[in-house]
């Protein structure tokens, strides 16, 4: 609930005013990440609660475009190992990345007009090119 309260405040006080003034808003995580990281991995069935909360917290302020960078789990694990220099983040260690990945891919299939999956197992230039193809028409 604290995440929802913080998101509600952020949408109301930052995102909506920025959009109303014609600015672009770019977030590295938003409602789809919340679903994957908190709802999909839960042992409890929180889907109905999530949808209701999403309607209240975010309402019509859904992203025009959501980009999901998809990477095979083994490759992602290797990159995390390199990045953290052997220091293990306890929160990250407890995450079920397979379930999180599946949840994000499912969201993309449910909302294909808004959510797009990019193959992140390619060169940085390739990832940038694929992202640009999605962003450029919105400019």
Calpha distance 1→53 (Å, rounded): 9
Predicted structure pTM score: 0.80
Those residues whose C-beta lies under 8 Å from the C-beta of residue 137, and which sit 6 or more positions away, are none
Range 120-137 average pLDDT? 97
- Higher-pLDDT residue of 39, 22: 22
Rounded CA gap, 34 and 41, in Å?
A: 10
Beta-bridge partners for 116:
67
What confidence score (pLDDT) does residue 59 get?
A: 85
Q: What is the pLDDT of residues 76-91, one digit of tens each?
A: 888 877 876 666 666 6
Decide if pLDDT at 38 tops 80.
Answer: no
What percentage of the chain reaches a pLDDT higher than 70? Answer: 86
Write down the mean pLDDT value for the chain: 85
């Amino acid at each position: 609930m604290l995440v929802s309260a913080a998101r509600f405040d952020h949408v109301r006080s930052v995102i909506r005013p920025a959009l109303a003034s014609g600015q672009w808003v770019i977030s590295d995580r938003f409602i789809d990440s919340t679903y994957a990281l908190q709802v999909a991995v839960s042992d409890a069935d929180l889907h109905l609660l999530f949808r209701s909360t999403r309607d209240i917290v975010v309402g019509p302020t859904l992203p025009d475009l959501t980009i999901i960078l998809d990477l095979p789990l083994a490759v992602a694990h290797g990159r995390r190992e390199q990045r953290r220099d052997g220091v293990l983040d306890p929160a990250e260690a407890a995450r079920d990345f397979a379930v999180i990945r599946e949840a994000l891919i499912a969201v993309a299939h449910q909302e294909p007009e808004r959510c797009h999956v990019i193959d992140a197992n390619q060169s940085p230039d390739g990832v940038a090119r694929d992202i640009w193809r999605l962003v450029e028409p919105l400019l």
